Amino acid sequence: MRLSVFYDLLGRSQHQDMRTVTVEGFKKRYGVDSAQAKRIDELAISFYDQLDEPDEDAREENRMLLSWAASLYEIGLSIAHSSYHKHSAYIASNADMPGFSRIDQSRLAAFVLGHAGKLGRVAHMRGIDWTLLFCLRLAALLSRRRTDIGLPCIEMKEANVGFEVRLPNEWVASNPLTDYSLAQEARE
């Protein structure tokens, strides 16, 4: 923990967050597709920014966490394509990540693991922020083509028990696989 505090203070004095430097190093080491990471990052943050967050400090920290998760969710692809999310979570949990506390690494690993698939595997994890995870999952689902094709205006808000996502009917009709995936996600 003391080392994390040291790196945090060092980064602040140099106007650079050591955690961001660490994430950039991991992206290079594990050959992360930077264009895809950027797509997921921007989309997930745009969803999060549509939701209420009264604490501005928490908002900024959550935006950074989403960005780091978007950058690292595919690091496990360097090990294997099948179950890459599990490999990504293992790396995020156990690697030496300067600037990150063990709690931060654990949260990051939970987001990386939970970005796709069954939510049951992250339900037991402490400190999971379901709102952030939803934003990341939705961004990953909508960006699976891995191209910069234009997405429509997507509106999102918190509902009684979860979230409400609004997409134009024409777009949904012309993207049946995404429509199916969104319906599956709603059942999850």
What distance in Å separates the CA atoms of residue 21 and residue 93, rounded to the nearest whole number?
Answer: 17
- Residue 185 in any domain: the answer is no
Provide the pLDDT for residue 150: 80
Element (H, E) at 3: helix 2-13
- Asked if 7 and 20 count as a contact pair (C-beta separation under 8 A), the reply is no
Provide the pLDDT for residue 13: 53
- Residue 61 in any domain: the answer is yes
- Residue 94 in any domain: the answer is yes
Its domain, for residue 61, covers 2-145
Where b means 16+ CB within 10 Å and e means fewer, 12-27 reads: eeeeebbbeebbeebb
- Residue 186 in any domain: the answer is no
- Residue 154 in any domain: the answer is no
The closest alpha carbon to 127, from 107, 144, 141, 143, belongs to: 107
**How many domains are there within the chain?**
1
- Residue 177 in any domain: the answer is no
What distance in Å separates the CA atoms of residue 183 and residue 181, rounded to the nearest whole number?
Answer: 5
Per-residue pLDDT 10s for the chain (188 aa) are 455 555 555 555 566 899 999 999 999 999 999 999 999 999 999 999 999 888 888 999 999 999 999 999 999 998 999 989 999 999 999 999 999 999 999 999 999 999 988 888 888 887 789 999 999 999 999 998 888 778 899 999 998 888 999 999 999 999 999 999 999 988 87
- Residue 169 in any domain: the answer is no
> Which residues are within 8 A (CB) of 17 and not within 5 positions of it... i.e. 6 or more apart?
8, 11, 64, 99
CATH code, domain with 122 = 1.10.3210.10
What distance in Å separates the CA atoms of residue 103 and residue 100, rounded to the nearest whole number?
Answer: 8
Reported pTM: 0.88
Q: Output the six-digit token pair for 186.
A: 């709603």
Provide the pLDDT for residue 117: 86
Give me the half-sphere count of Cα atoms (radius 13 Å) on the Cβ side of residue 96.
2
